Structures are given as structure tokens and as C-alpha cells.
Amino acid sequence: MDQASVAAPALLVPMRRERWLRNTLLGLAFCSPLVLLFLLLVLYPILYMIYMGLDREIYTDIFGDPIFVQTLWNTAIFVGFAVNVKMVLALTMSGLFSVENRFARILSGLFLLPWAIPSLPGILAFRWMLNGQWGIVNKILNDLGFAGYPWLVRRPTALAAAIVYHIWKYLPFWTLIFVAGRRSIPKDLYEAAEIDGTTPLQKFRFITLPMLRNLYMICSLLSMVFSLGDFVIIKIMTGGAPGDSSHVLATLAYRYTFLMGKIDWGVGTFITALPITLLFIFILICWVK
Amino acid sequence: MANHGLLWRLPWIAAVCVALALIGPGLAGVAGAGEKPKLVVWWNKGYYKEEDEGMQKIAAAFARENDVEVEITFTIQDDLGPKITSALIARRVPDVAFCFFNDFHISPRFAWDGRLADVSDLIADLKPRYIESHMSTGRLFSKPENKWSYYAIPIEAQALGTHYWKDLVKEAGFDPDPKKIPMTWKEHWDFWKKVQINLRKKDPAKYGKTYGIGMTSSSRSTDTIYNFEQYLLAHRGEVISPEGKVIAGEAKNREAIVKVLAFFTSIYKEGYVPSDALTWTDGDNNANFHNKTVVMTPNPSISIPGALFFTNKDAYYNKIGTILQPTSPVDGKGYPYLVAVKQVIIPRDSKQQELGKRFVKYVLDVKRFTEYVKASNGRWFPSFKDVAADPFFNDKKDPHIPVVTDQFMKNETRPFYFSYHPAYVQVYTENVWGKAISRVVTEKWSNEQAVDEAVGRIEQIFKSWK
């Protein structure tokens, strides 16, 4: 055994360490802008918000506001109905658009239109259609011999209008996701089922549904997180009317912060929803893993 | 090795970046040391382009004459209000801010927090020119300084008038002359009901959806507050005493509030007010009036006829009438008009407070401000007697502007309740009266229950402002 062959492994260790260090430092250098942005724009505001929200008096004040508890309910109703109805419909519709024929393709193109329309004109169009005096919905009802209804002047129908708009607007997007999900299911599963003489409903129940289960859960949770912070629909559609009875947390927090100048109340409103949001995110992460 | 070289250069590059970041602002300061002082002005966008052009000219002249730079931006009130609020909270402020929402939402709140500069010296200079009730709205309370002082500069105002379509009144078989409209309380409101009934009888197809009264009754609109509190004065009721105490719960005042609420909810439930009035925003009564869905509407400025001045002179001069409010139902006498006085503020965190005051004083010069306020075509009434003396505000050929001039100059006027206690801005923002109307109409509460909730909430709000 000569001296060179003994020294070689001893030299290799520092070389490897140097290479590891070099690669790590280089990697950190390239990542640092993103890490810095994350710390500045995500972590710092969240921690600061939580710090601001530690004052217990805020919660005494906001729960003392007669509309706050109703707003919590509204948010739960809005998110619960809008997301679940939308997801069930999206799953159902995705079956139609998975059919491979020309008509289905044209229909799916048209079906995407609401998603492509910008929110503001869409919501305003809904609002005008539901106008109690000259809206087209009441016009049609009147022409058919029924009395009109002040849709946006009653809390249940005002909230329902916001939910219907949400479904109309976002149904195409989630349908598209489920269409992609359906297309990833191996066809031979369906062929085997057909040989066994299964009905379409059985195919859906025993193949499609189990195969899309994870995707469905992830999409539902994601949609719930998005919808919890939805501001534009309620702000433009009802503005909280009638009598502040249709606010959701996002619109109420906006009012507290920017109209009343009470940033602590705005923060408190979001902190109230934070446990639910974090729970959704936690379940989502567990599910994905 | 290229990689190796880059690796060892990185710390140096990073160090240079950090050094630049640290000394950069200082270098910029040195470089800018010879530059002119800069005044940042946020101004509410006018309803007519002439208003903005006029203000731009004034700002340019001020910059030229004082050898300073003036950066003026115009923003609509719905965006400017939240922008000023955010700036004051974040303490990154403009030097001068004028927003139509300052009086209702911003000045009392941020004066209370000690975020506004004391402008008493400027007010003292302007005092001989001011209409007293307008000037008093700038006097606000600062909690850190524990004193009342002038923290806002009132410049122009609005008060509640009523507009109506003369042609619809005529069509209903009545004389549309403003002098012939009944002005005692009961007869006044019965008149508009009769107009609706007659119109619908005459041509059900054409007037089936025309309403006699365009009364804004929503929690989304500041007009609801104007209407409610103005009619509360008509019923001789008060919410707050001049000392800033809540007196709405006192028997006499509670009874008056119940009566006013009953008035609002009864005309709505009887079908004389469009059903959607419960969701109207500030512009919706204007829109409903312009498309003739309503025969009349109470409105806190003459924006309704003003909108037609340039486009439809016939409507402005001949088809729309402007009147004031009917007499008190309690004693048949007149009562004070509530004036919403729009204010300029100078944030305490501004580094150019003195320059800001000079700028405001320059804007409020009689000649300059007369031209500016005239460009709003009568929407705003000046807070200064010398400006109000301009023939523009007294032109008897105009069917609308002199009515407003009389309202301000010949009638008693008084400020809204936030001048008595800043906590009342929260009452306005929460729009307790709009909410009470909704409770009765949509949730079938009794008027008494809704009033008790509203009064309870006002008391609760006041307790939290300690």
C-alpha cells in the first residue's frame, strides 16, 4: 500500500464538505429573495396580525356589535352552501363534459363563459336582474302572472343571490378540474366493469367516486379557504343590506378597518375566522400527504 | 472555476447591496437637498371636470408663487376615504387631504386619536368670513391632548332639500309650482301619496311602478342618516345633548324617535316608497329620480338637477322643482337644518404642516374659492359669507340654487351630532337608523323594539369611547 492511496480518503472528506457547503450556500443565495419576500410579506404580517389580535378587549367589542354573530352565521351559510352545492354540481357536470363528442365539447366551451367574465360586471348584472322594481326576474314572474319579490331586500334571498352567483361563477372552474380528474382514471377499469355488466350508476359509485375522492376533498377544502375570504360578491351584490343583515366576515372587517378606522376590530374579525381557516389548511395538508 | 468565483463574490455583492440600502436614502436626501419643498395633496375628485381643472390651476399657481412643488391627486370619495384612513393609521400621510367623507367618518375619529394637526391659527384667520354653524364643525376633541380645538378646516356644505318632477305632479292633476306644494307636515306627505295614487289611476300601464316618495331607507346610504335625523329634529327629538351625552333614551326623545321610525316604515309598508329603497346607496335615489321611478326625493345636495344643467336645460329650468322641508308635525313651526360641512384635514404626521396651512388658506381666498365652488354648479354651498354673497348663489332665474342659499342664510342651521361627541361617527358608520328601519320592515319588529335596540347600541358605542 503506497502513501498516496492512504492519503486519498482523508483528502476526499474536506473536498466533499467544501462542495456541500458551496452548493448549500449557492442554493441559499438563490432562494434568499423568495425567503426574504415570504418573511416580509407573509410571515411578518401574519405574526403582527396575531400580535394585534391578542388584546381580549377587541373580542368583547366586536361580539358586542349586534351584527357580528349574525355575520358569523352568514359566513358559515355562504361558505357551507356555496362550496358544497358547487362541488356536487361540478362533479356531476364533469361527467357530461367527459363524454367525447362534438356537442359536449362545444357545450363545455360555452359552459366556461361565466368563469371568463370579470366579477364586477357579472355581479352587477345579477344585481340588476334581481332588482325588485325593474329587474328581469320579476318582469318574467309578472308576465307569468306571479307577483314580483324584492329579492335583495330580504336577508334569506339576498344571501341566496350571493350563493347562486358564487356557484354560477366558479362552477366551470371546478368542473374543469374534475374533468381532468376523470380523464386520469384508467379506462380499463370501466371496460372491466362493463364486462361484469355494471350500470352507469354503479360505475360512478364504485369506480369514479373512489378514484376522485382525494381530489374532491382537496378541491372542497381549497374552495372553502378561498370562499371564506370572499369580499367582492357580498360587497357588490348586497353591500350588507338589508340592515347589515347579509354581511360576511370579509365585508365586515373591511367596514371596521377602512370605514371606522378600527384596524384592531378588523384584525379581530379575521382572527375569529382563523381557527377554521387553519383547520381547513391542516386537513388539506394531511390529505395531500 | 466560474462557479467558485461566483460563490466567493456573493458575500461582497450582498454587502454592497446592504450598504446601498442603508446609505441610499441618505444619499437621496443629500442629492435632494437643493430641491424645492414638496406638498402632497389628496383631493376629492369633483363631479364636474371644471372642479378638478379649477383646483389644478390653483395648485399650479400656489406652486409657482411659493417656489414649491405641489403633487395633487384626485380620487373619488369611495376610494379616497379608505385611503386617508389607511394613511392615518399607517402614519404615512399626505400633507393636505380633502374628502367628502372626512366629516362623517374621518376627522372626528382621528382628531380623537391625536392624528390631526391643530389648525386653530388658520381658523382664527378665517373666522370673520365663516358661517358660524359651519365653522363649529371643525372643532373636535383630541384625547391625547385632552382638549377641544380646531382639527379640521370646514370649506363647503350641504343640507337636505327635496326635488320633484313638475311634469308628473301636473299629470297627477296638481299645480306643480313650488309655492303650491303643501308645506305642513301631514299635508305635505299626503300630497305625494295622492300624486302616486292619481298617476296610477290615470295610466296604470305607464305609472304602475311610479312611486310618490323616493325616501332612501337603507343601511348602506348616508342619505338615510340625513333624512332620519332631519325629520327627528322636525319631531323635536334629540339623540345627543350639546354636552355630548346620550339623551335618546329620555321619554320625550324616545317617543320622537319612535314616531320618526314609524313615519319611515309606514310610507314604505304602504307602498309609497320603492321596495329597493331598503338597499339603496347614496346614488340610487338620484338614479330612481332621473328615470322617473319616483316623483320626489329628499336629497342632501342639489346634485339631482345639477346633473342635468349641462345636458338638459329644459329639465333643469322647467321640469324639476326644488323645495325645502315641511314644517314640524309637533308645532307647525320650522326647525334647524342639519348641515354636513365638508372639511380639509392636515395630518399631524405631515412634515409640511405650515406649508399645508398656507396652501389651504390660498385655496380659500375669496376669488379663488368662489370660482372653485361655483364649478360644482351649486352642489356645495360655501362655508364663507363673502363667497356666498356672489351673484351665482342668488340668481333668481335659477330654480334651485337660491332655494339652497335661503336654506343656509335665512334659516337656522346646525351641525350633525359628531360635533357634540366624536363617538357619533361610529353611530353614522354603523347606520343605526337604517338598520332600525330594516328591523321593522324585513324582520317584523315593532317600531319600539327597533328604537330600543338602536338607542341601546348608541349608548354602548358611547361607553366604548372613553
Taking only the tens place, the pLDDT of each residue in A85-117 is: 999 999 999 999 988 888 888 888 888 899 999
Residue pair B396/B402 in contact (Cβ under 8 Å)? The answer is: yes
The reply to whether B166 touches chain A by the CB within 8 Å rule is no
Establish how many alpha carbons lie within 13 A of residue B171's alpha carbon, considering only the half-sphere containing its beta carbon.
Answer: 20
* Cβ contact A244–B441 (<8 Å): no
| CA dist., res. B294 & res. B107, Å (int) | 34
Residue B248 DSSP one-character state:
T
Nearest to A261 among B110, B275, B279 (CB): B110
pLDDT band per the 50, 70, 90 thresholds, residue B32: low
Nearest to A56 by CA among A273, A275, A267: A267
Alpha helices per DSSP H over B32-176: 49-66, 77-90, 107-112, 120-126, 132-135, 166-171
Beta bridge partners of A193: none
Residue B463, CA atoms < 13 Å, CB-side half-sphere: 10
Between CA A150 and CA B159, with CA B188 as vertex, the angle to 5 degrees is 80
End-to-end CA distance of chain A: 52
Q: Nearest to residue A62, comparing CAs of A274, A275, A267, A278?
A: A267
Chain A residues whose CB is inside 8 A of the B106 CB are: 261
What residues pair up with B347 in beta bridges, in sequence order?
B116
Nearest CB to A261; choose among B85, B220, B438: B85
User: What's the confidence (pLDDT) of residue A103?
Assistant: 87
Query: A255: Cβ–Cβ under 8 A, 6 or more apart, which residues?
Result: A240, A247, B429
Per CB-CB distance under 8 Å, the chain A contacts of B219 are 240-244
B440 contact A CB<8A? no
Chain A CA closest to residue B423: A260
What length does chain A have?
289
CA–CA dist B460, B466 (Å, integer): 11
- B27 pLDDT more than 80: no
Q: Are the C-beta atoms of A142 and A202 separated by less than 8 Å?
A: no
Contact B151, B119 (CB under 8 A): yes
Q: What is the pLDDT of residue B2?
A: 45
C-alpha–C-alpha distance, residues B408 and B402, integer Å: 10
Cell of B203: 295610466
Q: Which residues pair with B306 in a beta bridge?
A: none
List residues bridging with B43 in a β-sheet: B74, B98
Q: What is the pLDDT of residues B198-252, one digit of tens each?
A: 999 999 999 999 999 999 999 999 999 999 999 999 999 999 999 999 999 999 9
Residues 6+ apart with CB under 8 A from B226: B160, B298, B300, B338, B340
CA-nearest residue to A261 within chain B is: B85
For chain B, give the number of residues: 466
- Is the minimum CB–CB distance between B285 and chain A shorter than 8 Å? no
Q: How many CB atoms lie within 10 A of CB A23?
A: 12
pLDDT for res B128: 97
Say whether residue B437 is in contact with chain A using an 8 A CB cutoff: yes
The Cα of B332 is separated from the nearest Cα of chain A by a number of Å equal to 32
Check CB contact of A86 with chain B, cutoff 8 Å.
Answer: no
| Chain-chain contact of A66 with B457 (C-beta, under 8 angstroms) | yes
Distance from CA of B377 to the nearest CA of A (A): 28
Closest CA to B453 of B219, B163, B281, B122: B219
Running DSSP on this structure, what letter comes out for residue A37?
A: H
DSSP annotation string for A203-223: HIIIIIHHHHHHHHHHHHHHH
Least CB–CB distance from A25: residue in B7, B86, B442: B7
d(CA B96, CA B93): 9
Strands (DSSP E) found in B371-437:
381-382, 413-415
Quick one: pLDDT at residue B1? 44
Phi, psi of B161 (to 5 degrees): -120, -175
d(CA A216, CA A180): 12
Residues contacting B193, CB < 8 A, separation 6+: B212, B213, B267, B270, B272
Contact across the interface for A150 and B278, Cβ inside 8 Å: yes
Cβ neighbours of A153 in B, within 8 Å = 275-276, 278-279, 442
Per-residue pLDDT tens digits for B42-97: 999 998 888 999 999 999 999 999 999 999 999 999 999 999 999 999 999 999 99
Question: What is the DSSP secondary structure assignment for residue B105, as one 8-state letter?
Answer: I
Give the gap in angstroms from C-alpha B153 to the nearest C-alpha of chain A: 20
Stronger pLDDT, B72 or B303, i.e. the higher one = B72
Q: Which residues of B fall within a CB distance of 8 Å from A134?
A: 209, 293
As a whole number of Å, the end-to-end CA separation of chain B is 69
Minimal Cβ distance to B276: which of A26, A132, A261? A132
Alpha-carbon distance B241 to B247, whole Å? 6
Preferred mutation among B93, B99, B279 to probe A, highest tally of A CBs within 10 A: B279
| No. of helices (H) and no. of strands (E), chain A | 15, 0
Distance between CA atoms of A245 and A71, rounded to whole angstroms? 7
Q: What is the pLDDT of residue B20?
A: 59
Looking at the complex, does the CB of residue B439 fall below 8 Å from at least one CB of chain A? Answer: yes
Q: Are B176 and B166 in contact (CB under 8 A)?
A: yes
Flag whether residue B13 sits within 8 Å of chain A, measured between CB atoms.
no
**Residue of chain A nearest B107, judged by CA positions:** A261
Question: What CA–CA distance (Å, rounded) separates A195 from B43?
Answer: 75
CA distance, residue A67 to nearest chain B CA (Å): 10
H or E stretch including B16? helix B2-31
Cβ–Cβ contact A239 with B under 8 A? yes
- Give the residue on A whose Cα is nearest the Cα of B274: A133
Q: CB of B427 within 8 A of CB of B461?
A: yes
Judge contact between B318 and B416, C-beta under 8 A.
no
**Contact call for B10 and A240, based on CB within 8 A:** no
Read off the C-alpha cell for A85.
352545492
Q: What is the pLDDT along chain A (289 residues), one digit of tens a residue?
A: 455 555 566 777 788 888 888 888 889 999 999 999 999 999 999 899 889 999 999 999 999 998 999 999 999 999 999 999 999 999 999 999 988 888 888 888 888 899 999 999 999 999 999 998 889 999 999 999 999 999 999 999 999 999 999 999 999 999 999 999 999 999 999 999 999 999 999 999 999 999 999 999 999 999 998 999 899 999 999 999 899 999 999 999 999 999 888 999 999 999 998 888 888 888 878 877 6
How many beta-carbon contacts under 8 Å exist across A and B?
Answer: 105
Residues of chain B contacting residue A241, judged by C-beta atoms under 8 Å apart: 218-220, 278-279, 438
Q: Which amino acid is at A266?
A: G
Burial class (CB in 10 A: 0-12, 13-18, 19+), B414: middle
Q: What is the pLDDT of residue A100?
A: 82
pLDDT beyond 70 at B31: no
Selected residue of B104, B442, B445, B466 to mutate for chain A interface (largest A Cβ count, 10 A): B442
**Are A153 and B274 inside 8 Å of each other by CB?**
no
Contact between chains at B276 and A243 (C-beta distance less than 8 A): no
Handedness of CA B439, B441, B442, B443 (dihedral sign): positive
Query: Does B347 contact A at CB distance below 8 Å?
Result: no
Tell me if chain B has a CB within 8 Å of the CB of A64.
yes
* CA-to-CA dists, residue B127 to A285, B153, B347, B410, angstroms: 65, 11, 21, 20
For residue A101, which phi and psi values (nearest 5 degrees)? -145, 165
